[in-house]
Amino acid sequence: MRVVVFADDPTEGRVISVAMREFGITAAAAPDLVTRMERWEEDPGDVIVLASNRVDLPLQELDTIRAVTKAVPILVLHEPVPDTQECLLLERGAALMLDRPVSLRLLSNYLKVFSRLAASVPSTILNEMALEHIVLDTSDRTVSVQGGDPMRLTQLEFRLLYLLMSNQEHVVPTESIAERVWGYHGDGDSTLVRGLVSRLRRKLEPRPDSPHFIENIPGLGYRFHAVPLVVTASH
């Protein structure tokens, strides 16, 4: 597990990182949130700790993080606030808010819990999805197309394909895809979903630039076609 710590107080960020390592967690404090998030795709983490010392809520920081990734859990450390403000934090993308002062042992256990949740397959995905020409194996997150060799899918690709196959021949709205795949929705959903669909098509479609299985319905979402692909022999 890799934890990225953003703290208003750099000293606190270093203290949290060192303490987490004592509990067997790899953690690193990032001095600048914007700069760190710019290279998130090349160097992602499993969980983010956002330690705020300000009176106001760190909503701008949450928005900056969620503009880049909607999958990683964010734990916010903050002074106690009314329920309405805590709900606002959760609505903006936080997974949990812990009131200061917080036990570092308790923080380490929450981090381990969220790391397990982030790495796990959703509990709703239980059964193998098998069509005449596509088999999605839930035991090892692979897909086989028309009897070909199994191809390994990432967790997000797997969730997306399972969702689309479960709703074959029906349009799944982009917002629904973001919520079901990432567990969160907001500004930038269409860009995230489009990128994930593109990556999945490269594994699934013989011609990703002319997709057969996953159709984009402009302004609405995506639809999975269950019709087998007809391969025409070349002469």
7 and 109, same domain (yes or no): yes
pLDDT, tens only, 188-217: 578 888 999 999 999 888 888 888 899 999
Per-residue pLDDT band for 127 (boundaries 50, 70, 90) equals low
Domain-located, residue 87: yes
pTM of the full predicted structure?
0.55
pLDDT, tens only, 39-65: 887 787 878 999 999 889 999 999 999
Write down the pLDDT at residue 126: 42
Q: Which domain holds residue 88?
A: 2-119
d(CA 79, CA 171): 44
Spatial CB neighbours of 172, under 8 Å, sequence gap ≥ 6: 163, 164, 221, 222, 223
CATH number at residue 109: 3.40.50.2300
Write down the pLDDT at residue 36: 93
The crossing angle, in degrees rounded to 10, of helices 189-204 and 155-166 is 90
Domain-located, residue 235: no
166 and 198, same domain (yes or no): yes
H or E element that contains 151 = strand 151-152
Residue 235, pLDDT > 90, answer no
* Ordered alpha helix ranges (H), 67-173: 83-91, 104-119, 155-166
142 and 203, same domain (yes or no): yes
Domain-located, residue 188: yes
H or E element that contains 74 = strand 74-78
Q: Considering only 133-137, 186-190, 224-228, which range has the smallest mean pLDDT?
A: 186-190
65 and 90, same domain (yes or no): yes
d(CA 46, CA 44): 7
Contact 45/29 with Cβ under 8 angstroms?
A: no
The last residue of one of the domains, among 96, 119, 142, is 119
